[in-house]
Amino acid sequence: MTRTARWRAGVRRAWPVAKYVIGLGLAALAFYQLAGHKSELNEASAALGHLRWEWVLLGAAAEAWSFLAFALLQRKMLRAGGVDVAVGPIAAITLAANSITNSLPAGSVIAPVYSFRQFRRQGADEALAGWSVVATFVAESVTLTVLAAIGASVAYAKGASLDLVGVIVTVLVLAIVMGVVFVQKRVLVRTVSAALHLCQRLTRWPRGELAAHMDRIILRLTAVRLSPRQMAGAVRLALANWLLDCGCLALSFPAVGAGVPWKGLLLAYGAGQLAANLPITPGGLGVVEGSLTIALVAYGGSAPSTVVAVLLYRVLSFWLALPIGWGAWTWLALTGRPHPRPMPAAAVDPAPPGTAGTGTAGTGTARTGSAGTGTTPAAAADPADSEDGTSPAVDR
């Protein structure tokens, strides 16, 4: 047995215990991080003493449907690759990944890896799991910037004075370019292959068996296709996710007895969600509240009522979702078992010129602004998923 094989076998034997130890450690770290923000919860509880509960319940329902739309979006991406995941498990994965994003340092990096591994356990191969994570991120990014651009056009005069229009238009252009590159398979494969070749030249990594494995995953990307109907469905779900979440924000105003500042609502919401993705605090804690409040007050909202409405919105969309998400994480950790994976489909298009390697064998987001990846999903495969201690088969 080679040294690599012995190492993999050791990891496979230790992983069933190690994953629970690591999970408990991450949960403890999350609670430690959140304990430092008790003042925000205390402020919210004091300010939210007099609420109109019928509006609060409507806001909570809108937020729940927003989470469901995001979960169904991920489910649609997996189904495009031939893996059908039940609504219950995919909703649990969505809630758990959201809590990881919003409560752990570097959560926006950890959550996509977590989603990737959970998709693998639901029967997807490495390529489909990674592709689904990235496809969800692209769909959410493009639709969010489109909504923010619509909001900028509605509130153009004041938006320009706040220097938000130029930023949002720039982000919109970049998001559309990213979407086009992702949809065009040949362009996507060439882009990923070029990045891999550049990395090999500069760092001499990856090499050998790992490089060949990554080449096969790149080639497999051409096997996952979205039909026009599937693309339209994905866009509808991504828009529903953001619009329902924005609806929760809007419903928070009548819940505290204030009028909704409709003119700047979409623009302020888009800017707040873009700010949530900045790697400053977990889940944009403090950043989202500040950016939303400043923008909404600038567009005519009353300062005292806007502060309370934004706090209520964050209670419903952020704080209430955290314990639910960690409960979902616990349920998945205790009950989740790997599902049989289908044989990978052969790539339809031939490998374009410049694709690394010669392999022929045949890629998920915390919501809340869903989050970027920044991690190569293939490297995050669960060692326990392999039956013989070797690398898992390329599927998903």
Instruction: Calculate Rg over the CA atoms of the chain.
Output: 22
What are the tens digits of pLDDT across the range 62-90? 999 999 999 999 999 999 888 999 999 99
**Tokens read off for 396:** 């998903």
Residue 338 has pLDDT above 80, yes or no: no
What are the tens digits of pLDDT across the range 347-362? 444 444 444 433 333 3
112-139 in b/e form (b: 16+ CB < 10 A) is bbbbbbbbbbbbbbbbbbbbbbbbbbbb
CA distance 51 to 29: 33
Residue 114 has pLDDT above 90, yes or no: yes
CA distance 185 to 189: 6
User: Do the Cβ atoms of 256 and 312 come closer than 8 Å?
Assistant: yes
Provide the terminal-to-terminal Cα distance of the chain, rounded to the nearest Å.
29
Higher model confidence: residue 300 or residue 383? Answer: 300
Name residues whose C-beta falls within 8 Å of residue 277's C-beta, 6 or more positions apart in sequence.
Answer: 108, 284, 369, 370, 371, 372
CA distance 343 to 246: 41
Supply the pLDDT for residue 276.
Answer: 73
Which of 49-53, 143-147, 276-280, 293-297 has the least mean pLDDT?
276-280
Q: What is the mean pLDDT of residues 50-60?
A: 91
